[in-house]
Amino acid sequence: MKPTPVSPIQIARRGLMLVISSPSGAGKSTIARNLLDQDKQISLSVSVTTRPRRQSEIEGVHYHFISQREFERRRDSDSLLEWAQVHGNFYGTPREPVEEAMGEGRDMLFDIDWQGAQQLQEKMKADVVSIFILPPSMTELQSRLHRRAEDTEEVIRTRLANSRAEIEHWREYDYVIVNDDLQAAFDSIQSIVKAERLRRDRRHGMFDFVTKLVEEEPDLQSL
């Protein structure tokens, strides 16, 4: 006789707001993409930006590319949860998809800078898990920006010049990962997500589970 399959116990929990920041070129988008591919419980918060689209980017997938005027309209009507000016362009997180995901207990990933991370940490402290990605060296950061080959020399220079000031914010994050070996960095992120999902204060369904657990009378006859 085949054993009856045991269904896994599902305990309702709050969604995570996984915030990842780094200086440009340290590898946060690569790590974020891997995570989204491997973990179907997480969806990406697609930001709005006034930056020109890169060749490899798709409207609505990587960003919503909008004009400065449209950005100001959204910012002023409070439809952005946070926003910032980064490397001379404006970026912001649309509020509605985040509120929807959080209401349904779904996890969301935010690829945003330290200014955005600060704003989310202030507004939604209990739900935010923040991770800062560092490059192994400034030389490697520079060569990754060149290897990516998506930005002009001038844009790369601006980003490198800004990187030291961005790195200064590493202490404001819950976790810090040095992205030397990509697989090792990715393994670390997966471990963080796994552990954060298990935190007691996120698992509101645990209350009902334990209440039922201690009320259960074991069937002593069947021993």
x-marked contacts with ligand ADP along 132-161 as a string, rule CB under 6 A? ------------x--xx-------------
Q: Are 47 and 112 in contact (CB under 8 A)?
A: yes
At which residue do the structure tokens 């798709």 appear? Answer: 58
**Out of ligand ADP, ligand 5GP, none, which partner does residue 135 contact, by CB within 5 to 8 A per kind?**
none
Q: Are 93 and 81 in contact (CB under 8 A)?
A: yes
Q: What Rg value do the Cα atoms of the chain yield, rounded? A: 21
Of residues 70-129, those binding ligand 5GP (CB under 6 A): 82, 84, 86-87, 91-93, 111-113, 115-116
CA distance 65 to 71: 9
The closest of 117, 107, 94 to 47, measured between CA atoms, is 94
Asked if residue 19 binds ligand 5GP (CB under 6 A), the reply is no
Angle at 56 between CA 70 and CA 163, to 5 degrees: 75
Quick one: CA torsion of 104, 110, 116, 120, rounded to 10 degrees?
30
Closest separation in Å from C-beta 26 to ligand ADP: 4
**Out of ligand ADP, ligand 5GP, none, which partner does residue 47 contact, by CB within 5 to 8 A per kind?**
ligand 5GP
Name which of 82 and 127 has its Cβ closer to ligand 5GP. Answer: 82
Minimal CB distance residue for ligand 5GP: 116
**Out of ligand 5GP, ligand ADP, none, which partner does residue 93 contact, by CB within 5 to 8 A per kind?**
ligand 5GP
Closest separation in Å from C-beta 18 to ligand ADP: 15
Give the number of residues written for the chain: 223
Structure tokens at 151: 């930005």
Closest separation in Å from C-beta 116 to ligand ADP: 14
Please give the single-letter amino acid code of residue 211: T
Closest separation in Å from C-beta 111 to ligand ADP: 7
Considering only 15, 31, 35, 47, the residue that binds ligand 5GP (CB under 6 A) is 47
- Tell how strand 89-94 and strand 47-49 pair up: antiparallel
Residues that bind ligand ADP (CB under 6 A): 22, 24-30, 144, 147-148, 179, 181-182
